[in-house]
Structure 1
């Protein structure tokens, strides 16, 4: 007797055969179905779910093509493999994303496989990869970006299977999200070190032309400086960065951090004394470069772990990962 029960969702935009495929893969990911378990017969599903025989055959054929199901003549369809496939869609692969990715993998059981993709903030790539992925995965982990077409594209994904991570932009209310804050959290983190920041003549935020860093950080940086009577500048071109003694720099790009370090070496400026720097996003190497680069960052290891918990449990989640300022020798 099969322990798998299936019901059509008449309000869903998904085709009925795809609903059946997804229901089986979801049941496997939740351990409701295991290797060797029998699925309902074609006749049983036709009778109980008002599906056509063609629809059931099409769904079972798709599951067989994926190696998830096998059929035995005169006995029926059985679960052959309990591997669960997860879709992970990141913007770019940087050092801090590697921390997130590594934590995500480390917290998944061996029977989960992850297909990793990147969109590089290109809406055509974003649409193509998501459209081609529909119906092939049990869970979808997606980093959105600020483009007007993102909402219509991600609406192709069933909300219960979707987790938006990192930047809370164009999220779907019914879907899950794990995110960091780029506005008030920046203000609050900087507020913890006002006396240290004030030892510098100017606080300079370099927001280069090539960055996709959320722009609300500019507003809260300016508000922080004005509230604390700190002289500040916001540069929106990487060419504006000429490191000057007595200045403290907030850098959102590791590319500009490298240029900052080069200029300090050329001008014989001692980091943490002559000039200061705070870099966005923790990476393993920033603890050791120049005796430690100060960082303002969310906990990407925790973000990866929480994303893995969503994949394993399937339970809805809405969670903001805190942002902290870590002071090292560079300030």
Structure 2
């Protein structure tokens, strides 16, 4: 059943029809408001927020003419008083000016900066490296807001629904493990225009339209890193991956690890933590979490085995502490990831770039 229109809405629709009859060749206003009739925010406030946001995004340029009061009234079925109130507030705030007999114009002397929403899955020391490299590469050309979705597809959807249309770019780390039965993160990603979406750290192959992506290939990266360390791994007949079972790490890590072990005839195991691990001579561990790294180092020091000889350890992601402990690491270049994403974004590129991944050899292997 179609809802019955109110008399006021009917009157405005009739005005629109009359306008179209009188000017059959006239085009609708070029500028489109970020306007939602169901939003509880007062309609005039929505107009004000839309114009300010689009001036800041650079969608509306200095001296650009805005739609007239009549045009906005007809286009969005609004009372003239509502549009007049919005334009009056925008003029008082200094965002627009009016020229008698001509209309309303954008009044913005400052060069607009790009507005970017950066959405991480979590905060960590590695994410901070990416964040600061991203900011440094952007310089004064953009302003960046940061939000965290905490692996939640539902929370990610809420962030996008609240902010869609307010930024030039949405830079997203698409790692999701929670609420997948309640929210389809693919639908949320697809709701972002392809030219505004930047994928960071992980690519999403299902997205078909060209978009900028700076990613890790977790499966291939770990397999190739272990292959390149074959000279060091020859003295170990057994490999164990310590991969937490909370689902917050890409499953591709386990796939790549398993592929290497099968291809090189290595006995292997995958465990969720190192707490119950009984050390066996000739075993090398690949460790994701620093808590498990600490547990393994402690166990080795309490055993008759020597680290880097009877027991080997490879840790994910470089830190100063691992350097001091002489721990071999396999790591992506987090600084390069942030810098590359920002540089390509500024160049308006829509390409996929695999981020560098490498091993730092130290005494623990």
Q: Which residue of 1 aligns with 2:259?
A: 223
Provide Cα deviations, 1:204-226, integer angstroms capped at 9, x if missing partner. Answer: 11122124222122233222122
Aligned to 2:188: 153
Superposition pairs of residues 75-114 of structure 1, within 5 angstroms = 76-81=105-110, 82-114=112-144
Mapped contact 1:146–1:170 kept (Cα < 8 A): no
Contact 1:202/1:247, CA 8 A, preserved across alignment: yes
The Cα of 1:143 is off from its aligned counterpart by 0.7
SS in 1 for 2:147: strand
Residue in structure 1 matched with residue 19 of structure 2 by the alignment: none
The match for 1:39 is: 64
Aligned twin of 1:302: 336
Structure 1 residues 318 and 330: CA distance shift in structure 2, 3 A: same
- The gaps in structure 1 that reach 5 residues or longer are 1-5
Q: Check whether the contact 2:57–2:115 (CA below 8 A) recurs between aligned residues.
A: no
Q: Is the 8 A contact 1:171 1:177 kept in 2?
A: no
Give matches, 1:249-264, under 5 Å. 249-264=285-300
Give, in whole Å, the separation in 2 of the partners of 1:270 and 1:45: 82
Structure 2 CA distance for partners of 1:155 and 1:64, relative to 1, 3 Å = farther
SS at match of 2:329: strand
Q: What RMSD in Å do the two structures reach over aligned CA positions? A: 3.6
- Could you say which structure has the greater relative contact order, defined with CA pairs below 8 angstroms and 6 or more residues apart? 1
Q: Of residues 321, 324, 330 in structure 1, which corresponds to 2:355?
A: 321
* Deviations, residues 14-62 of structure 1 (Å, cap 9, x unaligned): 99x899877655547xxx95xxx31224349969xx966969x69x86x
Structure 2 equivalent of residue 206 of structure 1: 242
- Cα distance in 2 for residues equivalent to 1:38 and 1:177: 35
**Number of residues of Structure 1 aligned to a counterpart in Structure 2:** 310
- Aligned 8 A contact 2:57 2:167 in 1: no
Q: 1:137 to 1:41 in 2, by over 3 A?
A: closer
Of stretches 228-237 and 116-125 in structure 1, the one that deviates more from structure 2 is: 228-237
Q: Structure 2 matches for 1:120-135, cutoff 5 A? A: 120-135=150-165
**Per the alignment, in what secondary structure is the counterpart of residue 273 of structure 1?**
coil
Contact 2:274/2:295 (8 A) holds in 1? no
SS in structure 2 at match of 1:328? coil
Distance in 2 of aligned mates of 1:21 and 1:156: 23
Q: Is the 8 A contact 1:251 1:257 kept in 2?
A: yes
Query: Given the alignment, which residue of 187, 190, 197 partners 1:162?
Result: 197
Partner SS, residue 191 of structure 2: coil
1:230-269 alignment runs, 5 A limit: 230-267=266-303, 269=305
Partner of 2:364: 330
- SS class of match (1:107): helix
Q: Please state whether the residue corresponding to 1:169 is helix, strand or coil.
A: coil
The Cα offsets for residues 253-296 of structure 1, whole Å up to 9 and x where unpaired, read as 2232222233334447543234221111233443x2313x2111
Taking a change above 3 Å as real, the CA distance of residues 190 and 90 of structure 1, as seen in their structure-2 partners, is same
Q: TM-score, normalized by length of structure 2?
A: 0.72
